[in-house]
Chain A
Amino acid sequence: MLNDTIYVEVLRPQPTLFIFGAGAVAIPLVTFAKAVGFRTVLVDGRPQFASRERFPEADEIRIGIASELVEKIDFDSNTPVVLVAHDYKYDIPILKRVLTTSAPYVGLLGSRRRGAAIQQMLREDGVTEEQLRRVRVPIGLDIGGETAAEIAQHRGGSCGGRARKKRKSAACTVK
């Protein structure tokens, strides 16, 4: 028995990508995330943006005070998060909440400079350096994207890669 190879396949629920912000980048991001196997939940306070017409492929759309809605979400290792609102009034409270959870990926839309400013505001609010290191900003792979679809593509690619890596690490060979 000790010399036998045992293959363990871990079956997990479909990963759920939480997207905060229903702007132009979120539209192709939802499409792309769906295509690579994510369930998608979109959160925004603006019904005219977070609409079924704009996001026909989103599995769920939640509209309300985003900083309040985020407190009711049970994030875990199967729920990566991306913030694409590009607005500090969303980014600060949502990051404060998400960084206390085990969400496997926390990506923030913005430049390095903007990211540093947001991280400094979080630092002043008591968020630890260890928690801040989990924020991926700029998110995604640098493919030189400029359009909303290109930006969404490299965000989705980065997020999908990390989530898959996490899932893959759960499957192992025991000798």
Chain B
Amino acid sequence: MYGEVIIDHYRHPRNQGSLDNPDIAHEELNPLCGDRVRIELALGPDGSVRAARFRGDLCMIAQAASSLLTEMITGASLDQIADLPQEKLLEALQAEIRPARMNCVLLPLTALRAGVRLFYASRS
């Protein structure tokens, strides 16, 4: 139904958990379905993502998307993250996502983008 990638990342989520002292941490909620996720990032000296973690109450698609997203952004710069198109995450899931479930995919990306935006705002 969901495809192998989604099932694999749901059953064996990568980077699930929390960081001790994250540089960026942001939580987002989908009020309709109750999915809730927090994305945490630790930055290296050059400003790139040294470690990424997620934690949440998530449906299968949202958990797989969170897991994949944290893999995709590890090692990336914040500028690259800010420009990360949602199509890239959708493509990585390798499944046809119905419009009604699109928010499940985008929730971790929304949390990530908001976290980065607030991080920049706090430093300017």
Contacts and interface: CB of A to CB of B under 8 A. Distances in A.
Q: Do A and B bind each other?
A: yes
Interface of A: 44-48, 64-68, 85, 87, 89-90, 93
Contacts of B56: 65, 67
Contacts of B27: 65
Contacts of A46: 29, 31, 34, 36
B50 interface: no
B8 interface: no
B71 interface: no
Identify the 6 closest CB pairs spanning chains A and B, nearest first. Answer: A45-B36, A89-B57, A46-B34, A66-B57, A45-B57, A67-B57
B94 to A, nearest CB: 22
Interface size range of chain B in the complex: 10 to 19
Interface of B: 27, 29, 31, 34-38, 55-59, 63
Contacts of A64: 36
A47 to B, nearest CB: 8
Contact of B34 (A45, A68, A93): A45
Contacts of B59: 89
Contacts of A65: 27, 36-38, 55-57
A48 B57 contact: no
A46 B32 CA distance: 9
A46 B31 CA distance: 6
A68 B37 CA distance: 11
Given A46-B34, A89-B35, A68 B29 contact: no
A66 B29 CA distance: 12
Given A45-B29, A46-B29, A68 B55 contact: yes
Contacts of B55: 65, 67-68
Given A45-B36, A65-B36, A90 B31 contact: no
Most buried by A among B55, B57, B59: B57
A65 B35 CA distance: 9
A91 to B, nearest CB: 10
Nearest to A66: B57
Contacts of A44: 34
